[in-house]
Amino acid sequence: MKLSCLQENLSRGLGIVGRAAAIRSTLPITQNILLAAEESRLKLVATNLEMAATCWVGAKIEEDGAVTIPARLLIDFVNSLPNELIDITLPSNSHAVEIKSGRFQAHINGIDAQDFPPVPSVSDGVITNVTSKALSDGITQVAFATATEESRPVLTGINAEFEGERLKLVAADGFRLAVHEMALNSAVGEKAMVIIPARTLSELNRLLGDQEEPVEITINQQKSQALFRLKNAELVSQLIQGSFPDYSQVIPQSYTTRAVVDVNEFLRITKMSSIFARDASGIVRLLITPGSELTPGKVTVSAQAEEIGGNVSEMDALVDGEEAKIAFNARYLSDVLSILHQPQVAIEVTTPSSPGVIHPVGVDNYIHVIMPMFVQW
C-alpha cells in the first residue's frame, strides 16, 4: 500500500470515524482503524461491533492495499502534524506502516486488515431520507432522555417509528419520556419500528453538524441493522432487539392546570433551586397559582434541604385552571428546558402524582413527559 493525502483531509476523516473505535475491548483489533487504499480514495473504517463508521478521503493512490493501526495513536500523531502532504506506505509482507510528512516521520505497528471485522452491508428493507437539520433536532430533543443503565436494554435506545412520510423518535428512561416527530423526504413503503442505540444516534448527530444534504436511512429486512448514509461517510449500527414499552398511555390526554412561562426564566430558576435540591434528592417543588383580574398568574419553584436551607423563586405565568402543586427531579426539568428553541413553554399538570407535561408553545411535534416525585407538602 502506498498513498499520499493532505493532513487536513486525513485528520477530518479520522475525526469522523474515530469515535466508533472501541476503547477497551476483548477483541483488540476493534481499537484499530482500518485504512484501505482503493479506487483513488482512502477508506477509513472503525467499529466497536455495535456501530461501524466508514468515510472516504481524497488521496493519491500509488499502490492498493489495506492495514489496521491503533486508532488513538494514529489520530494523535496525524493531528500533531502540520497541514501538508502525508505519505503513507505499507511495505509488502509487513504490518508496520510508515507515515511521513516533510521532516516528520513515524512507523506504527498494525494488525492484518484481514482480521478486521467486516462492516455489515445493509440494503433492502425500509429506505428513506430526511433533512439533516430535522434529524439532528430530533435526536437532540430526545437522546438525553434515554436510560444509561443497562437494566432494561430497550430503554438505552431511541425508538424510531417510520410511517408514511413521518418519523417519530421516542426516548424514555422510566422517569421521563420525549417524543419528537419529523417529516421524511420520501414516504416509507411499510410501517417500521426499530430501536436504535442512543450512542449511535448521538454519534450520527455529531456528524450531521457538517452536512447540508439529506441523510439516507436504510433498515434491513430483519430489522437488525440500520445504515445512515451521509455525504462522505456511512454509519452502520446494530439495532436493539426487544419491544419498546407502550408509551402512549403515559402521555396525559388532559390537564387541570396549564401554565405558560418563559423558557429561559424557568430554566434559570430551576437551576437556582437545584443548588439546594442537590442535598434533597434533587427535589424541586412547583406551585402554580392562577392570576386574578389585577395580578398575573405565577409559578413558584422552591427547594428545601433539611440541614442546609432552601430557596424560593417565582416567575410570571399565564395560568389556565386551578392552583396546582407538583414536585420534580430538578435535573429532569433542566434537561428538557435546555434543549428547547422556543421562547415559551407550557407545563400541564393534573395531580401531584400524575405525570407532568412540558410542551413548547407554538410547535406540535414535540412533547416531554416527566414523572413527578412523591413528597410531603
Q: Give the whole-angstrom CA distance, residue 353 versus residue 351.
A: 5
**Of the two residues 82 and 174, which places its CB atom closer to other proteins in the complex?**
174
Report if residue 353 touches other proteins, rule: CB under 8 A. Answer: yes
Binding mask 106-125 for other proteins (x = CB under 8 A): --------------------
Among 160, 233, 327, 345, binds other proteins (CB under 8 A): 327
Question: Residue 336 CB, nearest distance to other proteins (Å)?
Answer: 14
By three-state DSSP, how is residue 186 classified?
coil
Residue 277 as a binder of other proteins (CB under 8 A): the answer is no
Nearer Cβ to other proteins, position 344 or 354?
354
Q: How far is the CB of 321 from other proteins (least distance, A)?
A: 21
Q: Is 308 in the site for other proteins (CB under 8 A)?
A: no
Helix/strand/coil for 126: strand
Q: What does the block give as the cell for 178?
A: 420525549
Q: Which stretch binds other proteins (CB under 8 A): 26-34, 62-70, 90-98, 240-248?
A: 240-248
175 makes contact with other proteins (CB under 8 A): yes
Q: Are 119 and 54 in contact (CB under 8 A)?
A: yes
Give me 126's grid cell: 425500509
Query: Taking contact as CB under 8 A, which single stretch among the options 114-122, 213-221, 245-253, 294-302 is the one that binds other proteins?
Result: 245-253
Asked if 376 interacts with other proteins (CB under 8 A), we say yes
Q: Cell 434543549 sits at which residue?
A: 339
Q: Which of residues 137-166 bind other proteins (CB under 8 A)?
A: 149
- Which residues sit opposite 225 in a β-bridge? 238
Alpha carbons 230 and 243: distance in angstroms, whole number: 28
Closest CA to 96 of 121, 129, 63, 74: 74
Distance CA 371, CA 375 (A): 13
| Cα 197 from Cα 207, distance rounded (Å) | 16
List residues binding other proteins (CB under 8 A): 149, 172, 174-177, 245-247, 250, 280-281, 283, 307, 327, 329, 353, 355, 369, 371-376
